[in-house]
Each structure stands twice: as structure tokens, then as C-alpha cells.
Structure 1
Amino acid sequence: MSYYRTFRGFFRIIFSLVFRWQVIGREHIPKEGPVILCCNHISLWDPPLLGSGIERMVNFMAKEELFRVPVVGFLIAKFGAFPVKRGAGDRSAIRTTLKLLEDGKILGIFPEGTRSKTGELGEAMPGSAMFALKSQAQVIPVAIIGPYRMFRPIKIVYGEPIDLTTLREAKSSADTLKETSELIMTHIQKLRDQHRS
């Protein structure tokens, strides 16, 4: 955790001085218990921004290739990342994620699965919905409103928890996953619309 705090402090300085960040909605983050932060994805800066905006530690999935890069692998592991094989159902990563949530920790995830080239929201992959439905975590929509430009404001907005009670009580199916994914993305879009300037 000491490494994490050090890196978070470093990134907070960058976001404050270089990008003049604005953090909105920190009060919506539960002080304890499992949480899934579902955020749009526009840049490589997004994971550290998502984690730097709040006090609790945020854990991330990261493609396994990054862990084989000298220095980078060490740093992202210390910043709360764990490996996942992209393009395949990585059962180990799924188990790690569900155990993390069972232990009351925070998962940061980008439902689209890849960065948006246009800055607009894309279609969500089923992963975030699956974790939301298979856990009792509070699901928080998060919007990053960019682009990242030196000395220009970047906003990160943490929304209110999404009520998934009805969907969690429904029979698990592809339709339930799709509906959950769409609901998450709708909440992210609403935050983007509300806080664009």
C-alpha cells in the first residue's frame, strides 16, 4: 500500500499541475465494502486518473503483456493491477476479480474494453456486467471528460451507485447481461452530458 500511496501522490501532482484536473463526486464512493468503478476509456492516463481521484485503493485488470515489460510490470503491479489474457475467457483473472470484491475491495474497470478513438462511448463488453451481477458490490459509474491536453482541465466525475437489485434478482441470461451493460453505459453517458462544459 505504501508504493500505491507514493504513486498516487505522484500522479496527483501531474494531474493537478499539468492537466488541472477537476474531481467531482468523491462523496459517492463508499468508505468500505466492495465497489466496482465503471468508467469510459479515452487514454492511457485513465487508470491512474481513476485511482488518484479517491482515497481508497483501486485494483485494475491489465493485459498480461504489460507485466513482461521491464519496470512497467513492476510499477503497474504496485499500482493495484493484475494480469488478464485479452480475447479469451481468463478464468484465473475472473476468480481473482470476484475474490477481490468478496474481500471488500475496489475494482476499476473500463466496460468498453479498449480506448475510444473518437472520445465517444462505445459498446460495453460483458465483463463489467458479469462482475456486477455475480457480486454484491456497489457499482459506481464514472465519467472522464477530456481530452487530455497540457494545462487544460480534465474532469473525472464519480456518480451515485446504480441500483441493480431487480437485475440481480432476475434469472441469469445473456439478456440480463446485456441489459446490465446498457444500464451502466447509460449512467456513464448521463454523467458526461451533465458535466460537459
Structure 2
Amino acid sequence: MADKVVTPLTEPGVWVERIGDRVFPERLPALFLDRDGTINVDTDYPSDPAEIELRPQMLPAIAAANHAGIPVVVVTNQSGIARGYFDWSVFAAVNGRVLELLNDQGVFVDMVLACAYHEAGVGPLAVADHPMRKPNPGMLIEAGKRLALDLRHSLIVGDKLADMHAGRRAGLAQGWLVDGEAAIQRGFAIRRLQDDDDLAGLITAIEALGRDNRS
């Protein structure tokens, strides 16, 4: 009998992949990152690995988390799969390229979660308001369970308000919005991430989490 093929798909529209073999103690906070538009340039449903380009602004933030011993978790909506623009194999190739480029820069991701469900999808992926799709918090909560994270003290960075809403709904206290404006929403602090001073503030917050967990 042939061996069963193990894939990162936990259901038709959800990808959960542990990257690398770094082991973390329980109850650490994490750095959650959106992918397209945050880690890499958003080319509108990226589907060609050769076209992937990193946004250099995020590299020092990931490096700070790696140095602090904080897990780095990517949480990405991928409605292009639901819409039939590409499939999970294309997502895997593109995501592999993103991780390769990050590794080339000496920074590392520890887990990737992706949700393909969307109301405009086809077949089993045609699901409206799926709990795993941001702005819902399902991907963050799932990562929290798998890595035994302290979600309250975790941080999220994204380029859409949906990323911030997902962070708030998962119980995080703050997030950084790429090219956005600062705001307070129901006790959740949105920090802007537009310039070097904003990036320095994010890095300081990440480093503080590392110090708090070593004390």
C-alpha cells in the first residue's frame, strides 16, 4: 500500500505549515505577519515565484523577533485560490520563494497559515465569513494552540484593517498597519508603520517582548 501523502492542508481551504525545527517554550508571544503587501510586494494575487520581491522594511523586524527568540508566524488570506486564479501548488511555490528570499537575508519564519475561503469562490471554497479568514481571528488562534502562544502579548503587522481586526479579535493588544494611521479600536492600539521612526518603534516593542520573557 502506498504511503499516505501528508500535506499542510488541514481542510480544503486552510494551510497550516510548521517551518524549520526551532523549539520554543510555552507561553511566548509571537510576531504575526500578513504576507502580500507586508513581507513581499503585493502584485495583486501573486502567482509567479519569479516575480516575488521582498519589502525590505520588514526584514529588521523579523530579525529582531528571531534574535529575541520570538516565533514568527505568517497569516495570509488567499482568495485567489477560491476564485480559481491558481491552486494550492502555485501558492506553495510562491510561498516557498518568499521563505527562500527571507532565508537569503538571514531571517526566518516559524509557521505559515493561509486561508483560501471566500464568498466569491467556487465549490467547497465558496464560504462567506469563514472563521479562518481575516478579519476573523481563526488563523491566529490556531497558531496560538499549536505553538502554545501568549496571544495577549503578541504583535501583528499587516497592510489592511482586516489584519488589525483579526489581531483584536484574537485578543492581541496592538498591531502595526503598513502605510496606515494610528488609532485605538475597542482597546486595541493600531500603530502606523510608514517611516523609519515607526519601524524603530516596532523593533523596540519586539525586543521588549524578548526581554520580558528572559526575565
TM-score, normalised with respect to structure 1: 0.41
Structure number with higher relative contact order (C-alpha < 8 Å, ≥ 6 residues apart): 1
Kindly indicate which of the two structures has a greater share of residues assigned to helix: 1
